[in-house]
Structure 1
Amino acid sequence: MEKLHLFMKVHQLKEQGFKIAAIAKKLGISRNTVYKYLNMNFNEASEWVLSTGCRVKKLDIHRDLILSWLKEHPDLSSAQVEDWLKEKYPKIKIGSSTIRGYVSDLRDIYHIPKMIRVRDHEAVEELPMGQQIQVDWGEITVKNQEGKPIKLYFITFVLSHSRYKYVEWLDRPFTTRDTIRCHEKAFQYFGGIPKEIVYDQDHLITVSENAGDIILTGEFQAYKQERGFRIYLCRKADPQSKGKVENVVKYVKRNFAKHRVFPNLESWNEKCLAWLKRTGNYNVQHTTKKRPVEVHALEKQHLTPVSSLLSFESNLVNSITRTVHKDNIIRYKSNRYSVPLGTYRPRGDNTVYIETQGEELIIRADLQGEILAKHSICHGKGELIKNRQHTRDRSKGIQAYKETIVRQFKDQDKALKFVNEVALQYPRYVRDQFQVIQYAITHFRLQIDEALAVCIKEQLWSANDLRDIAQHLTRLKEEKDVEAPASIEAKGNSPATTVTAVTRDIEYYTKIMRGVS
């Protein structure tokens, strides 16, 4: 009866002289619906209303699911409902207009209104193929599996002609190095590099506009010169200059991320790539009326082919960071990989660098530093890949373990004193502490005795302190070895051009460890 009542209201307003657009706006319906009602007489409308009452709709089997989504998230769009249905039922074949109509009917029946925000944009001419990529950053707060809010950050790229998109997420703010790495992955995803890239005045890439002579950050300036693209800077939230990527930022937030539960970063990025393939780059774009994936197949032929890895930073693409968790593992592509016990530090920096070489995952303490672990890459999900050397040594008791450690020092009396004090300080974590000591002995053998002497002198009874001091002494020695040849060459130079670097004694750092300023 509601539709019959609407039919009569349309005819009444038309008789009163209202235009089609005014009737549609006044009744909150589309102009096509107004035309449909005006082309019917009362008998035809009555028969049509009766037929719709008993008609079975394709989406009726999903009615309860869609209704639960709308009740939980009243601002959910029909486009997002469509994507969620496709994600849950990959083989579903239902048109976008069918879903829009069904969602609209559910809102009317159950009185679930939706707020609509309208923003005016001025039309701009389409750019030629391969001409431009627009880049922007975004952030959104979602809930994890425990229901706690977590803030996520993302970077978006869109080819201006085809509207083909790429998105990558982080659980921390982006750095310039992250930005460069994501550019490389986007170029690989697009199949080439455009002539121009558009940004707003973001601190990650620019220092100052300098009256048109743009000053870029050091890292990004080197990257721009290496890749050879032009840069165009515009104001923030400028729809005339980069409205396409601003729309993508909103699209990613509202269609992909909104109301989605965050499991972990790797899974989130995997789901986003699947969303791009399924929805973001597949659905017909409203302005061009074409699918971005189909237009991109032509546009990528106009992009400059992506060369090999960057000469100034060959590991930008392969090397990415991960966080060491308290159980001494890192997560990579939905699996867990072990690192040596003692790698995790409760009050320290737990960032490590990973890279892949074929089927091998390599974990490093620093970008070019020592290798902490190597693992064969697991292609499953939810697996724990653990190296036996990364576990506690349970083959012998604490006393035997202590004796093994002490024998490896030159001054065994000092070593025995140190391990006894460590055992007193950390009775619950004796094995873990001994494991860290053994790690320090293995990796910093030449400086381990000097580090032991410093710890005893400064009364630093912790295996982590022993390891850090030994590592610091090793780095100092390496720097001196590098500087030695240069100092020999400098002897012939004039005193005015000789510069001596200021060095600090090891006591300076041990005071900092003890909290003494």
Structure 2
Amino acid sequence: MRKEKRWPMYFAIQEQKRLGLRKSQVARNLDISRNTVIKFWDLTVDEYKEFLERLETRSRKLEAFEAEIVSWLRKYPDLSAAQVMDWLKERYGGLEVAESTVRNYVRGLRMEYGISKAKRMRQYEAVEELPMGKQMQVDFGEVTLRHQEGHLVKLWFITFVLSHSRYKYALWQDRPFITADVVDAHEQAFEFYGGMPEEIVYDQDHLLLTSENHGDLILTHAFGKYVEERSFRIHMCRKGDPESKGKIENVVKYIKRNFARHRSFTNVDKLNEQCLAWLSRTGNATMHHTIKKIPAEVYALEKAYLRPVHKKIQINSNPSITRAVRKDNTILYESNRYTVPLGTYDPCKEVGVRVTEDKQLIIYEIDSGTILAEHALCLHGKGKLIRNNNHGRDRSKGVQAYVDHVAEQFTDAGEARRYLEEIHRQMPRYIRDQLQAIEKSITEASAKTADDALAYCLKHGLYRAADFTNAVRYYVEQEQQQPANKPNQSEVKLLSDVDPTKLKAKPEIRGFGTYEQILRGG
């Protein structure tokens, strides 16, 4: 509170106290905290004056770090108070200070030293208005309305806008949209507009797009089939770039704030009727502030440039939901993950999902209807993984087969298997890497060398691929050195004949005493 407001507040508290008001009444009348009223309730004027003087002279916890914090703010203008607090704790471990204290102190330093927080501003460029019939933009929204009976209801809508005339259309549902709903909404929008444009702009929504694929878009099965049948061009916004379809973003906000806010909900049909009436009365009948024209009047001219839609496509009313199979062979349903059999995943793979009356989640192939998995629907909590035991990989079978494969490359497969299984026991996470290294060493050596290395490792308890590899290298070097140290006698040719008796002669062996006498001069 500012200094000039402190004394008037104190006198107002004392005045209402003399009038006999309770503390809670005073707090409400003055719009201050009840604790503040209690604090100053019994203070005399002199005591309150001393309190204010103490406020002026009291030291602040972070004053000792002022120069350091200011240097940080000048060097990094976008530094947050939370980062300042963390840096202080990192450098001064025993510092105990509240986050709000740091936040207020940093705010004060910014004002005192004129260090404004750096903000990154994205620069936009105005673009030319698109020609008539060229483009339509589409987006989704959701709001929560209060039912006439008093409870809250969550509702979803899809909205369309013609880029040239800003002529709008919206369709509401009381459940999340599925791909079939999106296709049906397009058909109703084309009927509302009396035609379709050349190009439609979307966000990268999972109902429409499986993968951006570096520009080679992979659409969901149902939506891709619809686009192919209707033959309109698609423009997908890049991730994190909603501004590239700003016209429809504004329409979504417009519907939420102008039509839906504080509206009482009865049923979806009634809401759609009200929305169409609002579009006719306000949404399309009010001058647009950018083009300075009324959308309905401009649309009357643009309608002639839309491509005709002669026959409405009948949409399959199957209430099932489609879901993309994720890389870990799960699908996401109501913020929980449900497993499907290993190997189901494919970059373009989608499966059907439906919930039975007894709360069972059925996951099935869309084309064939083959059931892939059944799970009990998780009714409590989010972010959980619901798994079927038979959906996991049988890791033990693959490892054992690999162990047998490597063991068979030794002369004594039984001893080799015992050695490899001990490695598996000691290092189960890295057994495949260990087996791969051992197999590589075997292929680079002879069978005898591999057996010698195995015997050496078993004898000395060396149960690592690195030890086995070192042993193989040692025995390989021994094999390479052996011909040089021990030449074959049959291949040595003598320069001259030697008397066999001389070869049998033995040198005289003298005792140590003889050498001792020689050394003493004897």
TM above 0.5, yes or no, is no
Give the greater-gyration-radius structure (CA): 2
